[in-house]
Amino acid sequence: MTARPNADSPHADPPHAPVDGPLYAHGIVRRGFRPRPGLVGAGGGAVLVVPAGPLAALVSVPCGPGVWGGDGFPQASGAAGMSRAEAAAQAAADAHRRVVDEAAATVCVLPLRIGTVHRDEAQVRRVLTERADLYERLLTRLDGRLEWGVKAYADDAAGAWAAGDGAGAVTDGAGEPVDKLARAAHDALADVSECSRVHHRWDACPHGVLPGAAASCATSAYWTSPISGAPYPHGRNLLDSAYLVHREAAGVFAETVGGLVARCPELHIELTGPWAPYSFADPDELPDLTG
């Protein structure tokens, strides 16, 4: 007789009634992870675990089936409907990030594209099975590592920044252009991280590891400040980078940021994180990590 798994075991899959309707997919983890009871996902539904082999997907059941469109966000029409759709998209993006980052606090998570919706559990399992090798390689590469974000701004309150050829650009006390300080800051942080990615203004969003509809990353609280020519509250944005850092090296990375803040008063430097490795979960750009 085959023994049944103990429901109290940390490696037992949390029980739930099979779901036939659409499921919003948040991320991929190794089988055995159990989300916090009461954790709410996109659309206000409870977060469930759908396992397949050694992997599992974190999904939620969108409330109000039938109103979710192909892009993973509630549909609406008309002028008044547009504002409701935008609010719903913002709420979905926030919930997506909340679920992924809460899981990433304890296990390695591959974040999926915002707005990834599957028809049912069978489709989720099929995708997990078909791409199991890729997902396991990504989980192995990223295990024990988190993403930190660093943004650097130059103070142009006095209007010293000039567009075009850079004439009249903001300089530090020695007369060096501040953008060189930002590049030096990035180099210093790259030296104490395992991988880095500079976000450019044409980066719409991080790529998901599951095929899905286009993400509405402008609604995500994390992806609101790509590099652009527009002024920011703190000045001109010179650096918007993501760094992959091992959990054990987080202190060293934070100290490096603190040292840059002290040495570069001409820059306003912001550190955010730790996050799940959003910028490093692209299957087409596997990070080349050692060890």
The mean per-residue pLDDT over the stretch 5-10 comes to 40
Amino acid sitting at position 47? V
7 or 126, higher pLDDT: 126
Computed over every residue of the chain, the mean pLDDT equals 73
Indicate whether 113 pLDDT > 90.
no
5 or 153, higher pLDDT: 153
Q: What is the pLDDT of residues 220-272, one digit of tens each?
A: 333 333 333 344 555 778 888 999 999 999 999 999 999 999 988 888 899 99
Quote the CA–CA distance of 19 and 99 in Å, as a whole number: 19
Alpha-carbon distances of 39 from 4, 144, 161, 223, rounded to whole Å:
26, 23, 46, 23
CA atoms within a 13 Å half-sphere pointing along the CA-CB vector of 36: 14
- Residue 51 pLDDT class (50, 70, 90 cuts): very high
- Residue 207 pLDDT class (50, 70, 90 cuts): very low
Indicate whether 161 pLDDT > 50.
no
- Residue 3 pLDDT class (50, 70, 90 cuts): very low
State in words which class domain 145-280 has: alpha beta
- Residue 154 pLDDT class (50, 70, 90 cuts): confident
Under 8 Å between Cβ of 202 and 281 = no
Quote the CA–CA distance of 42 and 26 in Å, as a whole number: 8
- Which pLDDT score is estimated for 252? 96
Quote the CA–CA distance of 286 and 83 in Å, as a whole number: 38
- Residue 281 pLDDT class (50, 70, 90 cuts): confident
- What one-character-per-residue DSSP string does 5-32 give? PPTTSTTSPPP-----S-EEEEEEEETT
Q: Flag whether the pTM goes above 0.75.
A: no
Domain boundaries, the chain: 23-141, 145-280
The mean per-residue pLDDT over the stretch 83-105 comes to 84
Q: Do β-strands 267-275 and 235-246 pair in parallel, antiparallel, or remain unpaired?
A: unpaired
